[in-house]
Amino acid sequence: MSTPYAKLPAWADYGLIPLINLAVAFIVAGFVVLLVGENPFRAAVILVEGAFGKGTGIAFTLFYATTFIFTGLSVAVAAHCGLFNIGTEGQAYIAGLGIAIICLSFDSVLPWWLTFPMAIVASALVGALWALIPAYLQAKRGSHIVITTIMFNFIAASIMVYLLVGPLKPAGSQAPQTRNFLAGAELPKLNWIIELFGAKIRSAPLNVTFLLALLMAFLVWLLIWRTKLGYEMRTYGHSPKAARYAGISETRIIITAMMISGALAGMMALNPVMGDQHNVAIDFVSGAGFVGIAVALMGRLHPVGIVLAAVLFGMLYQGGAELAFEMPAISRDMIVIIQGLVILFAGALEHMFRPYIQALFASFSPRSVGMEAVKGKGA
């Protein structure tokens, strides 16, 4: 008879297994670096130092992490309800339209601390409404959420391209983007916080959206684990039949979860649009929605894990840029390979080592030891 799997303690389930997956991913990535004739240990040092060795690197790492926190939370909220929201990319992209309307309308008459709250509401509202249609189709018509959200990514991209090369583009400009925002729509930087610890920052786009991302992570934790709605979402995600038997409205819970997910995705657009480039340009999302899937999976759908996973991917983005500069043999494409390996082991192969770890814990559990003792006496 096979050894029964033990229920893992929280520290192993949420800490040990992701760390093992991450270690294996970097070991395999080390072999890839070795194949191109570079020293993998030196590459690892450059990667870490590029992300955390200087104040500018830390600021850029946290800037990228801010984006991934929003998209990771977006995917996690839907996943807790048993929904795989692949439309985070499109929801964030189309939310740029809501931000553009607010910023272009009020950047010359209001200060940033009044424009910012309105932009938060606008981005969340547009993202939520964009997620509403696939949610309604799933709840009412049975259309699979994965298919519809993928389709809506392309629709969002097409709408934004049309607007940015047409109605929103300033007259006489060749660039497919809005005009640059004035000071009333530029978010203040948070570089001074890092400089308090003695680090020097030349120029980095870390801004107050980082604080908003941390606040959203806390609110998502409250929602999922401390509210009735969160309990209903988790119940439906675990067993739709049990949820229906308990009187939970399937339509309401699907639409609500997807709209919250879309709102979180929409707020991601605040970081690059108001915090960095100060305009809405084509493809400003740059794949962050899809990275959010990996961040959510690696963070085990928990806000704390998502924040840590977002910082990890921020490190890969910033440290990878430094690595490509210091080691010309390692191109940006190879950095994408390293990121892909992390996604592979943290996402697709997340359960590869779980059976062995569970069997190991089972062999050392008190019940297992007691059974062995009984067998010994019987002999």
Quick check: is 8 in a domain?
no
Residue type, 363: S
State how many domains the chain has: 2
Quick check: is 4 in a domain?
no
Q: Which of 307, 327, 347 is the last residue of a domain?
A: 327
For 201, the 3-state DSSP assignment is coil
For the segment 71-89, what is each residue's pLDDT rounded down to a tens digit?
999 999 999 999 999 999 9
Q: What sign does the dihedral 33-37-42-46 (CA atoms) show?
A: negative
For the segment 304-337, what is each residue's pLDDT rounded down to a tens digit?
999 999 999 999 999 988 888 888 888 878 888 8
Distance CA 56, CA 46 (A): 15
* CATH number of residue 163's parent domain: 1.10.3470
Q: Are 83 and 254 in contact (CB under 8 A)?
A: yes
Regarding whether 217 and 144 lie in a shared domain, the answer is yes
Quick check: is 371 in a domain?
no
Regarding whether 333 and 320 lie in a shared domain, the answer is no
User: Residue 71 belongs to what H/E stretch?
Assistant: helix 55-80
For the segment 85-122, what is each residue's pLDDT rounded down to a tens digit?
999 999 999 999 999 999 999 999 999 999 999 999 99
The beta-carbon contacts of 214-217 under 8 Å, at least 24 apart in sequence, are 214/69, 214/307, 216/69, 216/70, 216/73, 216/264, 216/267, 217/69, 217/73, 217/303, 217/304, 217/306, 217/307
Regarding whether 196 and 156 lie in a shared domain, the answer is yes
Distance CA 102, CA 96 (A): 10
Q: Which of 281, 302, 327 is the last residue of a domain?
A: 327
Quick check: is 5 in a domain?
no
Regarding whether 251 and 111 lie in a shared domain, the answer is yes
Regarding whether 215 and 118 lie in a shared domain, the answer is yes
Regarding whether 211 and 235 lie in a shared domain, the answer is yes
Regarding whether 283 and 185 lie in a shared domain, the answer is yes
Residue type, 347: G
Quick check: is 81 in a domain?
yes
Mean pLDDT, consecutive 10-residue stretches, the chain (379 aa), reads 58 80 87 88 92 94 97 97 96 97 96 98 98 96 95 97 94 91 96 88 93 98 97 96 94 97 98 96 93 90 94 93 86 81 74 80 65 52
pLDDT of residue 376: 54
Distance CA 199, CA 33 (A): 31
- State the first-to-last Cα distance of the chain, in angstroms, to the nearest integer: 18
Regarding whether 303 and 339 lie in a shared domain, the answer is no
Regarding whether 357 and 267 lie in a shared domain, the answer is no
Regarding whether 340 and 311 lie in a shared domain, the answer is no
Regarding whether 113 and 24 lie in a shared domain, the answer is no
Quick check: is 375 in a domain?
no
Regarding whether 156 and 301 lie in a shared domain, the answer is yes
Quick check: is 7 in a domain?
no
What is the pTM assigned to this prediction? 0.91
Please list, in sequence order, all residues whose beta carbon lies within 8 angstroms of the beta carbon of residue 35, skipping any fewer than 6 positions away.
none
Quick check: is 17 in a domain?
yes
Question: Which residues constitute the domain of residue 290?
Answer: 61-327
